[in-house]
Each structure stands twice: as C-alpha cells, then as structure tokens.
Amino acid sequence: MGGPREAGTSEQYRQAVKALYDMMEKYQPEYIIVWGNRLWDKLPGEHWTDGSDIVVDGYRVAAGAYTLASGRRVKVMAVNHPSVGYSWDYCHRVIKEFLN
C-alpha cells in the first residue's frame, strides 16, 4: 500500500488467496484474527463455513472457519482495524470469547 487508509486492489486480493491457503496449510493454525472489516469482506469463500457470531456487550462479531486439506478447521474472526473504532478492552473480551 502507498499509505494509510488505502485498500488493496481486487487483483491484489485475488493474488493473495493462494498465499493465504499456503500459509494455513504450512502452519496449520488453530485461529486467525482478521484485522479490519474491509479485509474480512474480501476473504475467499473456498473451503469456508460460516460460524456463529460472537456477541459481546450486545455487538456481533463475524466468525467462521476454513477447512484444510487435512480436515483441520481453522477458526477465523474479524475485529475492527486498530486504526479506527477500536477499543482494546472490548477487543480483549471478544478474542477471549473466540478462543473458548
């Protein structure tokens, strides 16, 4: 990106799909936290299952999971990007709920 508050192009997001899947297959994470709703909206849908939203203080946080080739499920959630509308206290409670 050339500076703050810039989004990637559609082509850049398409190019990143393989890297995302390669990273998950290589490192086999249990959890992924997506920093920013704009990025969340661009996540690839292949191997994706919608999950139940996480609700903290009456606010809903999107969640779901990817299923890897091994069958392992990688839980994924979105939080507001730290540069806007971000509360460390609230985010801590959401992540704590996500990890349970």
Tens-digit pLDDT profile for residues 42-100? 999 899 999 999 999 999 999 999 999 999 999 999 988 887 777 889 999 999 999 98
Are residues 77 and 39 in contact, defined by beta-carbon separation less than 8 angstroms? Answer: no
20: phi then psi, degrees, rounded to nearest 5: -60, -50
pLDDT band at 32 (very low <50, low <70, confident <90, very high): very high
38 vs 53, more confident: 53
The pTM for the full model equals 0.86
pLDDT value of position 57? 93
